[in-house]
Amino acid sequence: MYEALTPVSEMLSRNLDMLCHQPLLVCGLLEDDLPGLLAAHGPAPRVFTTDFRYFQWLSSHNDMQPEFGAAPTATPAAGLLLLMPKAKAEAHYLLAACLPLLPPGAPVFIAGDNKGGVKAAPKLLAPWCEQVNKVDSARRASLYQAVLSRPAPAFAADDWVGRYPLEEEHLTVCTLPGVFSADHLDAGTRLLLNNAGALHGRVLDFGCGAGVIGASLLKRNPGIELEQIDINALALAASRLTLAENGLQAKVYPSDGLGEVQGHFDCIISNPPFHAGLKTFYDTTETLLCDAKRYLKPGGSLLLVANAFLPYPDLIEQGFGHCETLAANGRFKIYRATA
């Protein structure tokens, strides 16, 4: 899945002498075995990832023991390589979380696809590094190098939490950088919530993001037993914050698709993901539509919002033998299928 090197890593492979002087803390958009490449040429890097799929892959692929979470553990590091994430806000966040682990004078590298915002590297590093140099550029990817000239302040996770109200539900949603619907409720999610009806029993919020669906359902159906899953550690952290902020409780845990989910549910509800980064992986949502029935109790339902143009009804019919359209507007449709 992550076997072929990305163009960014191919460009980095020409710079291994510079990168392998010290064990680097590597984080950001990891999509291949760059850690293995670095380890083969120098000291093994320390890998921190917010992506559970990558964490599982790297853990099983070599003995690197990556860290998965919303922030790296507070162990000092000798240098940093940030692979530019898709959201610039996430790059700011990752730098704020990682730079305090470095001593002054430590090397800091930022690499990424030219179309993925890597050109912002000098601005991103300006608060801490006097000079930021572009040291390589190839295959539409660039590498910037700097030296930490000012110690970065201790990371204060709370400073990165955004909040917005869901007035209809009397809820406050907590978000973190890069998490879906960072400053307002998604229009598709709103349509889904307006058509969810009353729920009971065991409910799974699949791809919970900031936890809006689960929190709204708990507020309306206090008796449900809610589980919230996401592949992204920042989404999981935001969901936990949303629950705590509103005095709600659920089981929140990382899962790539339904991989870590146990047992059977009365309802699986989702505004499912529909892009999977710069590389194309197997489609999470297609797999969900095919497999959901196996995770539902008899009579349990899959409830989904999707862009109206996506061919999901056919896939739901393949999985369930039927697909009901509960609601539609110009952009979105709500589908339900019962096991």
Of 282, 216, 281, nearest to 250 by C-alpha is 216
* 169 counts as binding ligand SAM under rule CB under 6 A: no
- Element (H or E) spanning 326, and its range? strand 324-328
Of 309, 81, 296, nearest to 202 by C-alpha is 296
* 207 counts as binding ligand SAM under rule CB under 6 A: yes
Query: With CB under 6 A as the contact rule, which of the stretches 55-63, 114-122, 144-152, 254-262 interacts with ligand SAM?
Result: 254-262
* 180 counts as binding ligand SAM under rule CB under 6 A: yes
State the nearest-atom distance from the C-beta of 269 to ligand SAM, in Å: 9
* 267 counts as binding ligand SAM under rule CB under 6 A: no
Tokens linked to 3: 């076997």
* 284 counts as binding ligand SAM under rule CB under 6 A: yes
* 256 counts as binding ligand SAM under rule CB under 6 A: yes
* 213 counts as binding ligand SAM under rule CB under 6 A: yes
Q: In angstroms, what CA-CA distances link 38 with 10, 113, 314? A: 12, 19, 44
The full length of the chain comes to 339
Measured at the alpha carbon of residue 244, what is the angle toward residues 243 and 247, in degrees to the nearest 5?
Answer: 85
- β-bridge mates for residue 27, sequence order: 82
CA atoms 188, 283, 2, 227: torsion sign: positive
Query: With CB under 6 A as the contact rule, which of the stretches 36-44, 96-104, 108-116, 253-261 interacts with ligand SAM?
Result: 253-261
* 212 counts as binding ligand SAM under rule CB under 6 A: yes
* 186 counts as binding ligand SAM under rule CB under 6 A: yes
* 266 counts as binding ligand SAM under rule CB under 6 A: no
* 90 counts as binding ligand SAM under rule CB under 6 A: no
Query: Is 303:337 a contact under the CB 8 Å cutoff?
Result: no
Supply the DSSP symbol for 280: -
**According to CB under 6 A, which one of 271, 300, 301, 304 is a site residue for ligand SAM?**
271
State the nearest-atom distance from the C-beta of 45 to ligand SAM, in Å: 24
* 208 counts as binding ligand SAM under rule CB under 6 A: yes
Query: Is 219:246 a contact under the CB 8 Å cutoff?
Result: yes
Q: How many residues bind ligand SAM (CB under 6 A)?
A: 20
* 31 counts as binding ligand SAM under rule CB under 6 A: no
Query: With CB under 6 A as the contact rule, which of the stretches 35-43, 94-102, 153-161, 203-211 interacts with ligand SAM?
Result: 203-211
- Amino acid at residue number 130: E
Tokens linked to 91: 């790059």
CA atoms 143, 144, 146, 152: torsion sign: negative
**Rounded to an integer, what distance in angstroms lies between the CA atom of residue 235 and that of residue 230?**
7
Query: With CB under 6 A as the contact rule, which of the stretches 76-84, 121-129, 202-210, 293-301 interacts with ligand SAM?
Result: 202-210
State the nearest-atom distance from the C-beta of 259 to ligand SAM, in Å: 8
Contacting positions for ligand SAM (CB under 6 A): 180-181, 186, 189, 207-209, 212-213, 229-232, 235, 255-257, 271, 273, 284
